Amino acid sequence: MRIAVTGSIATDHLMTFKGRFADSLIAEQLDHVSLSFLAEDLDIRRGGVAANISFGMAVLGLDPILIGAAGEDFKDYRSWLERHGVDCTGTHISESRHTARFVCTTDRDAAQIATFYAGAMSEAREIELAPVAQRCGGLDLVVIAPNDPLAMVRHTQECRTRGFAFAADPSQQLAFMDGPSIRELVDDATYLFTNEYESHLIEHKTGWSAEEVAQRVQTRVITKSSQGATITTRGQAPIHVNAVPVTHVVDPTGVGDAFRAGFLAGLAWGMKHERCGQIGALLAAYVIETVGTQEYEGALPGYLERFRGAYGDEAAAQISDHLPAFHG
């Protein structure tokens, strides 16, 4: 199964604040907010939603195709991704802009305040999917992950025109997009990925009810943090997937990306949706236990046994032949 992942490629600057943001937020003064939080740690990591998803798929043994825009400073990052099995030949390199930056501070309640600099990502709207599909012998699924909003709309339109199945994952960009643009991204999607808050935001901005959204996509996947995920396919009963208990919470950044990577890996292996969700839930647990969005590879040799402990012997037996020979 040939899966292309379009979306952001970025460098993450991750900081931790030992207090609680909520203690400094006054509801009546939010329109005049002026705050500074003293961060005690700083980690600079590889990130970007499309790159994170692609990396997660690659360490599970797939060959994802990364489609996005980056700057000349992408060389080392590109080498890292390619070394782990990500096809980066669909990446556009800007001649004038830096690779995007994600600057995020997380407090002790795991609440986050973040700023995103688009940089080269704004040139993603110039990328055509057809040449990538021709080079790869076709595309079975195109993931439309958070990116330059015009790029997201353009890639979605091209998928419809060329008959590519697509997965809508608007995520963080929902806050910046209006109802018509969101409708353009969601309508006719084979898969729609959101968290619980984003699912309500889609309904609010589009004016569609939950039932109307469900009729416009084939399968809707809603992640619910520690409450797991709900997967609803048109005409079928919803499926609930339990989250995997984590040993310790370190940093939630990239957890949703890891879930999507695992889910897509399950699709590529021919798994049913429940198993896909379980594969994603475990990969997400590894991410929340580490700082950074692509730093969990060393823990993966224990993946199968942890999967068995969470979901049982039968579930583990179904995925065991698909897992690569992990190296710590």
- Helix/strand/coil for 247: coil
Q: Tell me the C-alpha distance between 222 and 325, whole Å.
A: 30
Residue 308, token pair as written in the block: 């068995």
Contact 210, 181 (CB under 8 A): no
Task: Identify each DSSP E strand in 127-228 by its residue range.
Answer: 141-144, 166-168, 191-195, 219-223
CA distances 87 to 126, 171, 189, 268, Å, are 19, 23, 24, 16
191-195 and 166-168 beta bridge pairing = parallel
Residues 6 or more apart in contact with residue 40 via CB below 8 angstroms? 15, 16, 17, 18
Helix (H) or strand (E) holding 92: strand 92-93
Distance (Å) of CA 56 to CA 201, 260, 264, 300, 317: 27, 9, 10, 11, 21
**Closest to 167 (Cα-Cα) out of 194, 148, 204, 207:** 194
- Ordered DSSP codes for 105-155: EE-TTS-EEEEEE-GGGGGGGG--SHHHHHHHT--SEEEE-S--HHHHHHH
CB of 47 closer than 8 Å to CB of 135: no
Give the catalytic positions in this structure: 257
Name the residue among 33, 53, 89, 104 with its Cα closest to residue 267. Answer: 53
